[in-house]
Chains A and B, each alone.
Chain A
Amino acid sequence: MTIVIEIPAFMSVIYPCIKKTIKMPIKSYLAHPHHGKKMELYQTLSALSKCEVIPAENKDLLILVTDTDSSSEEDRLQEKLQAIDSMKLLAMVSGFNTTKN
């Protein structure tokens, strides 16, 4: 069964527990850049492995999709994401649980 666990943007404050308990190898986020830093953020995220980035054409927003193979890899990626200066807010939107192909 594929169950979509979609977490409303801005709601990480409500769901800290989710991050601990649900293994979701594929996640999507809305990444909000700091003012004037959209291109810089796009380049930084695109350079990270296991990340795909889709910039909005007309708004200061990027969609980030991460696809990791293990929780340790996920944790390492999270650390890198936290350290990005050009990012104002990263809000998780969905997590998908799937068997590995």
Chain B
Amino acid sequence: MYTSTLTNRRSFIKKMAVLSAMTAAATMFPGIMFADEQERNLPKSGNLDWKKAPCRFCGVGCGVLVGVEKGKAVAVKGDPKSTVNKGLCCVKGYHSVMAMYGKDRLKHPLVKKNGKYVKTSMKEALDLIASKMQETIKDYGKNAVSIYGSGQWTIPDGYVASKLFKGCIGTNNVEANARLCMASAVTGFLTSFGSDEPMGCYEDIDHADVFVLWGNNMAEMHPVLFSRLLDQRLKRGVKIIDFATRTTRTSMAADKSILFKPNTDLAVANAICYEIIRNGWVNTSFVEKHCSLSKGLTNMGYGLEDKYSFKDKPEKIDFEAYKKFLEDYTPEKVEKIAGVSAKDIKYMASYYGDPNTKVMSLWCMGMNQHTRGTWINNLVYNIHLLTGKISTPGNSPFSLTGQPSACGTVREVGTLTHKLPHGVVMNKAHREHAAKIWDVPVENIDPKPSLHTVEMFRALDRGDLRFMWIQVTNPMVTMPKLKRYRDATKKEGRFIVVSDIYPTPTTDIADVILPSAMWIEREGMYGNSERRTQYFEQMVQPPGEAMSDTWQLIEVARRMGFEKQFAYKEETHIEEIYNEYRRHHEGKKHGMAPLEVLKSQPGAMWPYVDGKSTQWRFNSTYDPACSNGEDFHFYGKPDGKAVIWQRPYEPAPEEPDAEFDFWLCTGRVVEHWHSGSMTRRIPVLHRAMPEGYVELHPADAKRMQIRTGDLVKLTTRRGSMKIPAAVNQRGVPVKGQVFVPFFDENILINDLTLDAFCPISKQPDYKKCAVKVEKA
């Protein structure tokens, strides 16, 4: 029998290692037992005080336990009670607390005076922001001010921002960086179901037989969820199909990797629907009872010009018309467009079509950062609707989100120009509902959406916008066609406020820099991909004068004369704000869990009704909001039916040609969080992935005599830069494509990308533009 002989600090660490292994084993083998004596010997917590929080980084929303010792967060472990990650974490999660302790943390406000940043008091900085905003409104009107936030905003941050700008000031110039990552998912949900966010939940992973990953490098972007897929494969032999334009770690771990030409996922999705109909795999009774069919406008353009606008005109069609439309998408025809063999298309269709196989489709940026992003979201829903594989355990089209609160804050609180916490600004009843809770005259809320993200930066360039407050995001790394927007911020008569925790290329363009309190240095909530809202308490003090983004906004709102609407007490403001916010969503369709519940457990999923989370929406067995007496009720639509959309394949706005002969695709890596401003300050992660690179296909590299480490010159119509090559390293793009990650602020790849966007969602496409590739 095992007996431990360890006695000192090293022995403590060793016991912790055993404990971690036992926790992981218990996750994978419920009921597993080790000798009592061994478990008794293990340290419970040492001197650490462990407190629960959602992870700071991605939208998976793992539950973590943070170990606090003498006022400092010193350790992290996965929360075994969290159903999201069951005690596991990824490399970013485990190092998350280190992101708070970088040497160059911003601790005091800085104000630009005569071209130099001068340290100032928080009071003076907040006074200046409020007076500048008032002055701008007086001189240029209320639509000359704006706020640009983030899917990393906590729920209270986004809520007070929306209340201040939309409710009090009266401008819809409220946007968040989730426009750059999730907007097509939102419009996909709204057009297909009339209600945002996935109908299923992560527990679908434990039921599905086949996983189809649509342009989704889950192994790097959603690592803990991907480990759950791999775990299911070991236990139940499930199949993982990776459908992508680049071979990644996900492809290598998948059972089958299928590569397609950029933008042609639209054609492949239609071909799968064609096959489903041709083989008689349609779930006819489901479609007849629960679906309607529509088509919209085509050849919409790509939003490349300033003030571009588009409004779709949906038109009902019948099943025969839809069937006829799909005749252009036989697997054989699509093989020629997409470079995917007809056999592989039929292979994917056969899993979706088999009534005895449960299929989960997963996607993230590949489908959302797409100039036809709304369409491709619609088309994948079509596959699930035609087969009736939706809203039941294991049958689940699942749009994953990138940021920890892209769902919770941006989509649910509604920090996009057209949104309100409940509903949209265009709807009178929704405006009245919000105005009542906000205690503002309903006329304050402008019924017209104003500037979406790309247009907001264009307006800054034109001079229509004069004041911008940027919180928790780094647009001077992440905006497409970056040079135009960087130059815009430097123009005369623009005033930029940036709230952040470290200096970044975005703080470089600020007139005022406010130091923010990060994550567990304040209290808040995030909402993850599966509609789960998770609470975290303040565990440590923020450094210097750093202040939460919520409180910064409250202070400025009060200075602008909105004391009545922002009369929250400092000690209880998060609770007061959350309780006020919950009122917007009251009811069976979107009820949020009370704060006591969020404090007592690792989150709850909305709709939270009668003390219970809802795991599968639109299914009357699980969702109390279903009221049509049928098995399913898509109550987001007035007729209770989900929409099967007729959407064609259309090419990307800028495709390779004789001069710019490659595709350029950009993306992320597992070690770094987005623009790297936090993770590049964590030594282990920085060492693991120190700098950006350009991946080439080995055949292209050989032809151009480029080897790993050689400098490669990339040129697009927007600019040019030199980047070290990576051949056969982490990922391998398809021939004729290069891939560059965007985390490295010394390699601003977005100087080369194109600011084309989906006309419906207004989300830019960072995955496709034409580039010339040369050995430097």
A interface list, Cβ under 8 A from B: 1-11, 13-15, 17-18, 20-22, 26-30, 52-59, 61, 63-65, 67, 93-96, 98, 100-101
With contact pairs A8-B224, A10-B230, A14-B249 given, residues A2 and B22 touching in the complex (Cβ less than 8 Å): no
Kindly list the 5 A-B residue pairs having the minimum CB-CB distance in the complex, ordered from nearest: A94-B20, A8-B227, A28-B17, A28-B21, A8-B88
Chain A residues within an 8 Å CB radius of B28:
9, 30
With contact pairs A14-B226, A94-B17, A96-B17 given, residues A58 and B9 touching in the complex (Cβ less than 8 Å): no
B75 touches A5 (CB 8 A): no
With contact pairs A4-B94, A8-B224, A26-B10 given, residues A56 and B21 touching in the complex (Cβ less than 8 Å): no
Chain A residues within an 8 Å CB radius of B226:
11, 14
Chain B residues within an 8 Å CB radius of A101:
8-10
B89 at the interface (CB under 8 A from A): yes
CB distance from A70 to the nearest CB of B (A): 15
With CB as the reference atom, state the residue of chain B lying closest to A17. B688
Choose, from B33-41, B297-305, B318-326, the stretch at the interface: B33-41
A64→B24 CA distance, assembly (Å) = 13
B671 at the interface (CB under 8 A from A): yes
B20 touches A4 (CB 8 A): yes
A96→B20 CA distance, assembly (Å) = 10
A3 touches B32 (CB 8 A): no
Chain B residues within an 8 Å CB radius of A4:
16, 20, 75-77, 94
CB distance from A90 to the nearest CB of B (A): 12
CB distance from A66 to the nearest CB of B (A): 9
A28 touches B18 (CB 8 A): yes
CB distance from A69 to the nearest CB of B (A): 11
A18→B684 CA distance, assembly (Å) = 9
B91 touches A7 (CB 8 A): yes
B252 touches A13 (CB 8 A): yes
B9 touches A63 (CB 8 A): no
CB distance from B612 to the nearest CB of A (A): 29
B689 touches A28 (CB 8 A): no
Set B38, B91, B231: member contacting A10, Cβ < 8 A: B231
Chain A residues within an 8 Å CB radius of B224:
8
* Known pairs A54-B38, A58-B31, A94-B16 / 12 extra A-B pairs, C-beta < 8 Å: A3-B76, A4-B75, A6-B24, A11-B227, A22-B684, A28-B21, A56-B33, A58-B32, A61-B25, A65-B21, A93-B17, A96-B13
For chain B, the bracket of interface size reads: 35 or more
With contact pairs A3-B94, A13-B219, A13-B249 given, residues A67 and B14 touching in the complex (Cβ less than 8 Å): yes
29 interchain pairs (CB within 8 A)?
A1-B72, A2-B75, A4-B77, A5-B684, A6-B20, A6-B24, A6-B77, A8-B224, A10-B227, A11-B226, A15-B91, A18-B688, A21-B688, A26-B13, A26-B17, A28-B18, A28-B21, A52-B2, A52-B4, A54-B38, A56-B32, A59-B25, A63-B21, A63-B22, A63-B34, A65-B17, A96-B16, A96-B17, A100-B10
With CB as the reference atom, state the residue of chain B lying closest to A91. B24
A61 touches B78 (CB 8 A): no
- Of A10, A52, A53, most buried by chain B (CB within 10 Å of CB) is A10
Chain A residues within an 8 Å CB radius of B24:
6, 8-9, 30, 93
B95 at the interface (CB under 8 A from A): yes
A17→B28 CA distance, assembly (Å) = 24
With CB as the reference atom, state the residue of chain B lying closest to A98. B13
Chain B residues within an 8 Å CB radius of A2:
13, 74-75
With contact pairs A11-B227, A54-B2, A63-B25 given, residues A28 and B20 touching in the complex (Cβ less than 8 Å): yes
A26→B234 CA distance, assembly (Å) = 26
Q: State which residues 577-621 of B face A: CB under 8 Å.
A: none
With contact pairs A8-B89, A21-B684, A28-B20 given, residues A3 and B10 touching in the complex (Cβ less than 8 Å): no
Secondary structure at chain A's binding surface: helix, strand, loop or mixed? Answer: mixed
Chain A residues within an 8 Å CB radius of B223:
8, 11, 14
Chain A residues within an 8 Å CB radius of B20:
4, 6, 28, 93-94
B18 touches A5 (CB 8 A): no
User: Chain B 208-234, CB within 8 Å of chain A: the 1/0 string?
Assistant: 000000000001100110110011001
Chain A residues within an 8 Å CB radius of B98:
1, 3
A94→B87 CA distance, assembly (Å) = 12
With contact pairs A21-B687, A93-B20 given, residues A14 and B29 touching in the complex (Cβ less than 8 Å): no
Q: State which residues 46-102 of B face A: CB under 8 Å.
A: 72, 74-78, 88-91, 94-95, 97-98
B253 at the interface (CB under 8 A from A): yes
A18→B98 CA distance, assembly (Å) = 17
CB distance from A41 to the nearest CB of B (A): 14
B18 touches A63 (CB 8 A): yes
B488 at the interface (CB under 8 A from A): no
B670 at the interface (CB under 8 A from A): yes
With CB as the reference atom, state the residue of chain A lying closest to B101. A1
Chain B residues within an 8 Å CB radius of A7:
91
A1→B487 CA distance, assembly (Å) = 42
A26→B8 CA distance, assembly (Å) = 14
With CB as the reference atom, state the residue of chain A lying closest to B36. A57
B95 touches A3 (CB 8 A): yes
Set B8, B34, B77, B95: member contacting A56, Cβ < 8 A: B34
A100→B14 CA distance, assembly (Å) = 12
B219 touches A5 (CB 8 A): no
A18 touches B32 (CB 8 A): no
B90 touches A8 (CB 8 A): yes
CB distance from B610 to the nearest CB of A (A): 35
Chain B residues within an 8 Å CB radius of A61:
25, 29, 32
A67→B14 CA distance, assembly (Å) = 8
- Of B74, B220, B684, most buried by chain A (CB within 10 Å of CB) is B684
Chain B residues within an 8 Å CB radius of A8:
24, 88-90, 223-224, 227
With CB as the reference atom, state the residue of chain B lying closest to A13. B253
A56→B28 CA distance, assembly (Å) = 13
Chain A residues within an 8 Å CB radius of B35:
57
CB distance from A9 to the nearest CB of B (A): 5
CB distance from A42 to the nearest CB of B (A): 10
Chain B residues within an 8 Å CB radius of A29:
21
CB distance from B687 to the nearest CB of A (A): 5
With contact pairs A4-B16, A4-B94, A94-B21 given, residues A17 and B230 touching in the complex (Cβ less than 8 Å): no
A18→B689 CA distance, assembly (Å) = 10
CB distance from B730 to the nearest CB of A (A): 8
B78 touches A1 (CB 8 A): no
CB distance from A43 to the nearest CB of B (A): 13
Chain A residues within an 8 Å CB radius of B227:
8-11, 14
B14 touches A65 (CB 8 A): yes
A61→B21 CA distance, assembly (Å) = 11
A67→B15 CA distance, assembly (Å) = 11
